[in-house]
Amino acid sequence: PGTKNVAKDILKLNIGLIKSGIAFKNRLPLGRFGKPDEVALMALVLASDLSSYVHGSLIPVDGGFLSS
């Protein structure tokens, strides 16, 4: 429902999805969208023995968006 509402709001503003996507991308600290394999790599690490001491943690894979 949230995604639909955002899309409807963007349509009402008449700025277009491409312009709004570019504006969002420009606000990201890394200046680009994440790639699916970047998220998959974190999932792989968390599913492996490399993360045996990680419990109950939230690890955002967001290119620094939450910290900006």
Please write the tens of the pLDDT for every residue from 15-68: 665 666 677 788 888 888 888 899 999 999 999 999 999 998 888 888 888 886
pLDDT tens by residue, 6-21: 767 767 776 665 666 6
pLDDT of residue 42: 93
* Residues sharing a CB contact under 8 Å with residue 20, sequence separation 6 or more, in sequence order: 10, 13
By the 8 A CB rule, do 28 and 60 touch? no
Task: List the Cα angle 66/33/28 in 5-degree steps.
Answer: 40
pLDDT of residue 2: 58
* Residues sharing a CB contact under 8 Å with residue 33, sequence separation 6 or more, in sequence order: 25, 63
pLDDT of residue 40: 93
- Read off the pTM: 0.56
pLDDT of residue 49: 96
